Structure 1
């Protein structure tokens, strides 16, 4: 349906994944199979679902996958805030990631509205 590589929301989501991986390297090693794994998986889910939806055959399917990506973005924000509450990171390190998540969610809602 759409060439996902041209979508700005996909590009920003890919940037977010890179930033999440950099941050997650700084988290405690004992969280390797817990919070680190979960943060990485849900961050990867965001551009993956955008790409999958763009490759589907209908606007309705695309909107569905955008909705899943939006949920993954909220999940990521929660996990970043949790890592702050657990003193695994600082507000200064997660704030740019939270801001990018918010931007991606605004773009997501706008794209969903356009498709509907």
Structure 2
């Protein structure tokens, strides 16, 4: 037996991304613990959390709404990696890797949302 969301590739990718972001946040300076580290962790975890919440017993309209929340959380993560790059916590190569992963996941989320019935 499994939950419906566990089969979703977008949820699986969001879960993986959350773990990658967790590892990244551990490299930030201690002074960022309650600022950028906390924000990027909450936002990255929120992507998968909203996918799962929207898929359980919700109407199609509710599911679309929660996918929208996931997309918004993903946008927060993008802004956080920009902040990390500007503060020299990550280099350009790291930034590009995270950015490409986030962009790909965003496209997957938008496509998934567009397939949900109106």
TM-score (norm 2): 0.93
The corresponding residue for 1:111 is: 112
Residue 100 (structure 2) pairs with residue 99 (structure 1) = yes
The corresponding residue for 1:79 is: 80
1:93 shift after superposition: 1.7
Q: Which has the higher contact order (CA 8 A, sep 6+)?
A: 1
1:99 shift after superposition: 1.0
Instruction: Give the whole-Å Cα distance in 2 for the aligned partners of 1:72 and 1:104.
Output: 12
1:57 shift after superposition: 2.2
Instruction: Give the whole-Å Cα distance in 1 for the aligned partners of 2:58 and 2:45.
Output: 22
The corresponding residue for 1:27 is: 28
Q: Root-mean-square deviation (CA), in Å?
A: 1.1
TM-score (norm 1): 0.94
1:6 shift after superposition: 0.2
Q: How many residues align?
A: 115
Instruction: Give the whole-Å Cα distance in 2 for the aligned partners of 1:89 and 1:67.
Output: 28
Unaligned runs of 5+ in 2: none
The corresponding residue for 2:52 is: 51
Deviant stretches of 4+, over 6 Å: none
Unaligned runs of 5+ in 1: none
